Amino acid sequence: MTARRILHADADAFFVAVARMADPEGAGRAPLLIVGGRPGGRGVVCSASYETRAYGVRSAMPIAQALRLCPDAMCVPVPRAACSATSKAIAAVLGRFTPVVEGASIDEWYLDLTGTEALHGHETLEQTAVRIRQSVHRETGMWISIGGGTSKLVAKLAAEKAKPRPGTEATGVRIIAEGGEGDFLRTLALAELPGVGPKLQEKLRSLGLVRVEDVLPHDRSTLARWLGRRPAEWLYARVRGIHTAPVEPRGTSKQISRESTFSRDVADDAQLSAHLRALVAKAAAELRESHLAARSVTVKLRDADFTTRLASRTAAEPLESDRAIGDLAVSLLRKLRMARRHPARLVGVALGGLVAARDAEQLGLFAGGPAPVERAEDRALSRAVDRVRERFGDAAIRTASTPLRRAP
């Protein structure tokens, strides 16, 4: 049986690179750059330049803490529109090398090149990876790191080692040949394996298991006695590079989300609802731009004491309009607020169960039961608002509930 030829492409410092391209005279000139918020805000770091990471700044760190570690860093918000456009441009280049491309996130993709040897002139997988990397940079201005192997797991781990970070000899491409998976994995710490989070790391460390090679001498029954049957089976396979999951092309994203961290805690329900509807408008606009509709809506609320709560609901039919999604989101927010009335630090919304908009219309046409929560007029109005904003900017039109920005 022919071995699989899997690549994992990971855009290098994606959010930092896009922020620099979007603002060449500002962020583009700042070696010390933090993407994720503004000084004085209470957001978290989305990404940081390699120079900034040398100061200890890491993703998900509060902006205030990051600036204490690196006070000279420039801090900018995430350029969401530019990030979305750049991600789509990279995916388009990757799709020319194989039809089997799976988007793992906005800046990561899996490619299955099994059976494409003749298409690429029977060159090695490494040679193809180098060409892909150069093509992406030439056409998008972005550098990607590419790992390759016989499974998605090995390819992802190899891509991490391929990143040309300062102080390393990595070149941007790392291919693990068939049969070499074991030797490669033995060089890794267990913490580097996807799925081995802090709690599992602590448990494994208590058993004297820190590196992949520490686990290999133990059989399944021993691991099961320590960890339980299912975790033991999972770990036994991962440390040996066993991972048979296929690369699954997805025409749509798993979800579209937006969230906002307040500069001051918000306790007023009306103000929270207004902020939530503004976030819904942004997420729904992206939904419609991609010709999608959402089956489910999830609202996220983080209280002042950092307690994070979620509420979700699946609609009777897929939704795409600001009004219908907003009404559903506000009802979920009301549910969360009734359960616990603490001032809020953050509010967010996620749209999931995404389907093509034309499929949504068919589902609505044949759906039984009560009248649909979204009318044709709702969809038409939202699309008309999209056209106005596209031509005149986001501030050209807003709903009465949208919070006004105060002048600085």
Q: Within its chain, how far is the Cα of 55 from the centroid?
A: 25
Q: Which of 108, 126, 160, 192 is catalytic?
A: 108
What pLDDT shows up at residue 398? 61
Global model pTM greater than 0.75:
no
Stretch(es) of the chain classified as CATH 3.40.1170.60: 24-78
Binding residues for Mg(2+): 10, 107
The identity of residue 46, as a single letter, is C
The predicted pLDDT at position 390 comes to: 64
HSE-up of 390 (CA within 13 Å, CB side)?
Answer: 10
Q: What's the confidence (pLDDT) of residue 401? A: 54
Segments in the chain below pLDDT 70 = 1, 250-253, 357-372, 386, 388-408
pLDDT at 389: 64
286 is catalytic: no
| Residue-level pLDDT at 382 | 76
What is the pLDDT at residue 372? 47
Query: Which pLDDT does position 253 carry in this prediction?
Result: 56
Query: For the structural domain made of 6-11+81-178, what CATH number should be given?
Result: 3.30.70.270
CATH architecture type of domain 24-78? 3-Layer(aba) Sandwich (3.40)
The rounded mean pLDDT for the chain is 87
Residues above pLDDT 70, as percent of the chain: 89
Question: CATH 3.30.70.270 spans which residues of the chain?
Answer: 6-11+81-178
Write out the DSSP string of 309-349.
EEEEEEEEEEE--HHHHHHHHHHHHHHHHHH----EEEEEE
- Which residues line the annotated binding site? 10, 107
Query: Is the CATH number 3.30.1490.100 carried by domain 255-396?
Result: yes
Give residue-wise pLDDT tens across range 330-382: 999 999 999 999 999 999 999 988 887 654 444 443 444 334 477 777 777 77
Start-end ranges of CATH 3.30.1490.100 in the chain?
Answer: 255-396
Q: Cβ(345)–Cβ(302) under 8 Å?
A: yes
Contact call for residues 370 and 317 (beta carbons, < 8 A): no
Question: pLDDT (tens digit, 9 = 90+) per residue, 76-114?
Answer: 998 988 998 999 999 999 999 998 999 888 899 999 999
